[in-house]
Amino acid sequence: MKKEKQVDAGLRQFIKDLGYVTGGAALLGTVPWLQSFTPDKLNEIKKEKARIGLIGTGSRGQYHIHNLLGMQHAEIVALCDDYEPNLKTALELCPNAKTYADYKKLLESKDIDGVIVATPLNWHAVITLDALSAGKHVFCEKAMALTMEECKAVYEAYQQSDRVLYFCMQRMFDEKYIKGIQLIASGLIGEVVGARCHWFRNNDWSRPVPSPELKRRINWRLYRESSCGLMTELACHQLEVCNLVTKRIPESVVGMGDIVHWKDDREVYDSVSLTYRYKNGVKITYESLIANMFNGMEDQILGSKGTMNLASGMYYLENEVGANSAIEQLLAQIGDKIFSAIPAAGASWRPETKKAYQPHPIIKGSFSVSDGMSMIGADKDGSDEMLSSFCQACITGEKGKDIVEEAYSASTLCLIGDQAMREQCRVEYPEEYKIPYMEF
């Protein structure tokens, strides 16, 4: 009960307030997927509940369970996993749910409205396709699929379906990203001339296993049969943000990927560096590694009049020069309670890079900032609001505008980036995978 009230008073109130300030039409024109998530829409479902089945009960699945348990319009009625320890833990959280070891059996149930797919990446497409075919609404983790062919198959199946399909690209529901995208569209930072995104951690990205034969199964992120590593796990989110801001898709990519530090039997890179190029010459520079966390996570949109750092919730204008030191700026922000969380690692306050600029908060008042270190999910990063919107859609049947298209675009960009690194060449976006939604 308490959680749902927080969601309603949080993002929903934020959307309502933005509508008063800018006009509802102007807001939804910038971020149209929110048209299904207004306070008025929530009131329409009254006391109805979406009956949810969860496929995949590992750490991310359990993260979703905790969010679902606080939503008045959701009920977890089924759990599925072929790994018994995870299923047992999930059942302790949802003792009234029916359990399955085979997801196809779960899909046969008439008592389920929608399913959440929180499995390894190589299962995303096949389960999503089967669930849509079974008449279920689907909320799937990112990325959309492991291959370009699978992404296209999911997209085409959705076009033929009357079911709701969401992919967990949670930045689309994060308050500071929503407001930041709107500010960029208003011209605050001028013409977008580039984007600079990075995500750094320092851990081996592996998890302990109870027996050797489970190694590849539990640590699926490290192997080519089930993952593209940093690209599909992290870059997917950040490339999507760049697409939302520019309202177009890069036409090509070059990059380098290597296993630099973690010399185990992993098959995916622990260090990636790529440049995506838009048709108009604007470029995204993207870098990620998991053997150094000094720079943390940033999503910087570079404009001719300023810079918007969507990850930290701050923007900087080119025509302002501040006299305060970086640490004085940080202390002032903490004192004003602009932050509800401070990144453990990040470049925003290093004097050699930011001291000449006055920082401005994207949102007035308290907001959440993630340090990007968790492998499970951060609080208040938009995931719970997006899941709440999906549950609402399971009741109303209303599809979220542009959500599938944006997930398709970001996922396929990750995959061609991975291809560019593996083949050590420039890769053009393939004609056969372009969809009508895309602008190049």
Tens digits of residue pLDDT in 161-187 = 999 999 999 999 999 999 999 999 999
Q: What average pLDDT does range 289-297 have in this prediction?
A: 96
* Contact criterion met (CB below 8 Å) for 408 and 151: yes
Neighbours of 364 (CB within 10 A): 10
Task: Please state the domain extents for the chain.
Answer: 2-171+383-397, 189-378+410-428
pLDDT at 310 over 90: yes
Let me know how many helices (H) and strands (E) the chain has, helices first: 17, 15
| Cβ–Cβ < 8 Å for 412, 265 | no
Residue 398 per-residue DSSP state = P
Q: Say what the pLDDT of residue 25 is.
A: 60
**Amino acid present at 144:** M
Q: What residues contact 177, with CB distance under 8 A and at least 6 apart? A: 171, 241, 310, 382
The letter for the amino acid at 197 is C
Q: Bigger pLDDT: 64 or 44?
A: 64
pLDDT > 60? residue 24: no
107 to 53, 91, 115, 387: CA distances (angstroms): 9, 18, 8, 19
Stretch among 277-281, 362-366, 389-393 having the lowest mean pLDDT? 362-366
> What pLDDT, in 10s, does the model give residues 209-244?
999 999 999 999 999 999 999 999 999 999 999 999
Percent of the chain scored above 70 by pLDDT? 85
Same-fold call for 2-171+383-397 versus 189-378+410-428: no
Q: What's the chain's average pLDDT?
A: 89
Is the model's pTM score more than 0.95?
Answer: no
Whether the CB-CB separation of 192 and 183 falls below 8 Å is answered with no
Binned at pLDDT 50, 70 and 90, residue 126 comes out as very high
* pLDDT above 70: residue 343: no
> In this predicted model, which residue has the larger pLDDT, 171 or 324?
171
For the chain, the farthest-separated pair of C-alpha atoms sits apart, in whole angstroms, at 65
2-171+383-397 fold = Rossmann fold (3.40.50)
Q: Which CATH superfamily is domain 189-378+410-428 in?
A: Dihydrodipicolinate Reductase; domain 2 (3.30.360.10)
State the average pLDDT over residues 3-14: 53
Which positions ≥6 away from 22 have C-beta within 8 Å?
182
pLDDT for residue 397 is more than 90: yes
Q: Is pLDDT above 80 for 55?
A: yes
